[in-house]
Amino acid sequence: MRMSEGVEWALHACIALDWIGDRPVPTAKLASTFELPAPYLNKHLQALARAGIVSSTPGPRGGFRLARELRQITLLDVVTAIEGTEDAFRCQEIRQRGVGAQAPKSAFRKRCAIAAAMRTAEVAWRRALEAQTLADVRDAAALDAPQAAANVRRWHTTNKEN
């Protein structure tokens, strides 16, 4: 099971947008920050916009900016914006097939015990994603790589032709 690489791109894009400051950043410029293919990054930025995480300004001087502060964006917000809200484990009710087809419908009123157990783990994962904001991640990154924010900001103010 593999998460879309769009989640990684979207998380880096949000933190870069915070570092760059409150102005619209064109997709191509944002993509070049990490040497990402702009059309694919754009697809993910559109998904973030639909989720209200970034906002889009049209026009030649347009682009994307954060729609709210990083402390108001959780990892779960970004993961569900890119991956959707469906659980990774999707019960196909195979208990109702074969031998199960002969049982009365009342035997299946409650969620399948296997699906319920898998759901417990999914909830633990989602809670752990929800407990962390992008501000937490930005602050942790600042401890490990104190120059990263300034480097990205400088690159975005001095490489205007990109």
In Å, the largest CA–CA distance within the chain is 71
Whole-number Å distance between alpha carbons of 10 and 47: 9
Nearest approach, Cβ of 51 to its own copies (angstroms)?
Answer: 16
Distance between CA atoms of residues 54 and 162, nearest Å: 21
CB closer to its own copies, 50 vs 125: 125
Q: Which stretch binds its own copies (CB under 8 A): 34-42, 44-52, 53-61, 63-71?
A: 34-42
> Contact at 8 Å (CB) between 22 and 54?
no
Computed from CA positions of residues 21, 12, 75, 41, in that sequence, does the dihedral angle turn out positive or negative?
positive
The sign of the dihedral angle between the CA atoms of 22, 23, 29, 30 is: positive
Distance CA(26)–CA(62), nearest Å, equals 6
Single out the residue of 99, 158, 160, 161 in contact with its own copies (rule: CB under 8 A).
99
CB of residue 77 vs its own copies: minimum separation in angstroms? 13
Closest contact distance (angstroms) between CB of 153 and its own copies is 10
Is 90 a binder of its own copies (CB under 8 A)?
yes
Name the residues that contact its own copies, by CB under 8 A: 1-5, 7-9, 11-12, 15, 32-36, 75, 83, 86, 88-92, 94-95, 97-103, 107-108, 110, 112-114, 116-118, 120-129, 132, 136-138, 140-141, 144-145, 147-148, 151-152, 155
